[in-house]
A = this chain, B = another copy of it.
Amino acid sequence: MCELLGMVASQPADVQFSFTGLALRGGQTGPHADGWGLALYEGKFARVFLEEHPAYSSPLAKFLRENPILAQLAVAHVRKMTRGTACIQNTHPFVRVVNGRHLVFAHNGTLPNVRKRPLRYESALGDTDSEHAFCVILEALRERFGPYYPEDPHQLGQVLFELGNELGQDGVFNFLFADGAHLFARCGDSLYSTVRKPPFGEVTLLDAEVSMNFGDHQGADSTLRMAAVATKPLTRNETWVRGEPGTLWLFKNGDLLDTWAPAPGYVEASPQITPAP
């Protein structure tokens, strides 16, 4: 398995604090030692930093913590491989260009059968179920919207929600999907979110004895809002809302814009499938 972190704010913000917590799980406090990745949006363009080595000891991850890049939208991932090998092409997040913007995707869980689904246009660089699932999503979007990316995120969310629950019936499918403005976050079996807004109190990372006041740290004015999503809560003394399996959240500018809830009794993963631990 692996861990995900997504962040979307009302203005460019420093993701250093949250990434530090995630990076420590990349081999030091957690077992997620097979690679890490960080996508930082600047408008519709995502810079993506990837390594197939543990995040906590990575010179590049250290460099990024020490030379933070401000971003309004970010997706990070640390990986414990369950499918595929530890190599750069299997490292999340994955990125593609669609209609003049980068789309970024990261997955937690396993979808053991998704690679049986044929791809017509998209192709995977690596051999993970996760990247293949991203390609399946991209082809579904193309089928639904043609070469254009939908302006209305609620239209897009509906497709991601339905496809998420379809693929999630055959595995575990926690994912983050970002498009430069919006962060879509699907809970398969474990996803938490928190919204940070002024007044910022001191929050403490669960993985390190680090405390920080967001108000000070972000140099933020009173309008900053920041939504964070993670497979496990990253901090103490913040309220993390646990997602219900099958739920899709849509965040923008630090706010929760929309929620898609599954039918009552939805259960992730078919009984025939034993998800990886």
Give complex CA distance A101, B125 in Å: 6
Number of chain A residues close to chain B: CB under 8 A: 29
The copy count of this chain in the complex is: 2
In the bound complex, what is the Cα–Cα distance between A101 and B43 (angstroms)?
25
Complex contacts, A195 vs chain B, CB 8 Å: none
Q: Which of A116-124, A229-237, A255-263 contacts B (4 or more CB under 8 A)?
A: A116-124
- Among A47, A96, A121: residue with most chain B CB under 10 A: A47
CA distance A14 to B120 in the complex (A): 37
A101 to B126, CA, bound (A): 9
Beta-carbon contact of A123 and B102 below 8 Å: no
In the assembled complex, the Cα of A213 lies from the Cα of B154 at a distance in Å of 59
A158 at the interface (CB under 8 A from B): no
Q: In the assembled complex, which residues on chain B have CB atoms less than 8 Å from the CB atom of A244?
A: none
Interface string of A239-264 (1 = CB under 8 A from B): 00000000000000000000000000
Q: Which residues 76-135 of A have a CB within 8 angstroms of B?
A: 87-89, 96-102, 120-126
Q: Which residues of B contact A120 (CB under 8 A)?
A: 147
Instruction: Give min CB distance, A58 to chain B, whole Å.
Output: 10
Does any Cβ of B come within 8 Å of A44's Cβ? Answer: yes
Cβ contact of A45, chosen from B67, B88, B101, B147, cutoff 8 A: B88
Cβ contacts under 8 Å, A50 to chain B: 47
- B60 with A125: CB separation less than 8 A: no
- Kindly list chain B residues whose C-beta atoms are within 8 Å of the C-beta of A201: none
Bound CA span A89–B96, Å: 14
Chain B CB count within 10 A is highest, among A67, A88, A102, A122, for: A88
With A45-B88, A45-B89, A63-B60 already in contact, the answer to whether A125 and B100 are too (CB < 8 A) is: yes
CA distance A99 to B122 in the complex (A): 7
Contacts of A98 on B, CB cut-off 8 Å?
123
Q: Closest residue to A124 on the B side, CB-wise?
A: B100
Which B residue sits closest to A67, measured CB to CB? B59
For A88, the chain B residues whose CB sits under 8 A away are 42, 45, 47
Which residues of A line the B interface, CB within 8 A? 42-45, 47-48, 50, 59-60, 63, 67, 87-89, 96-102, 120-126, 147
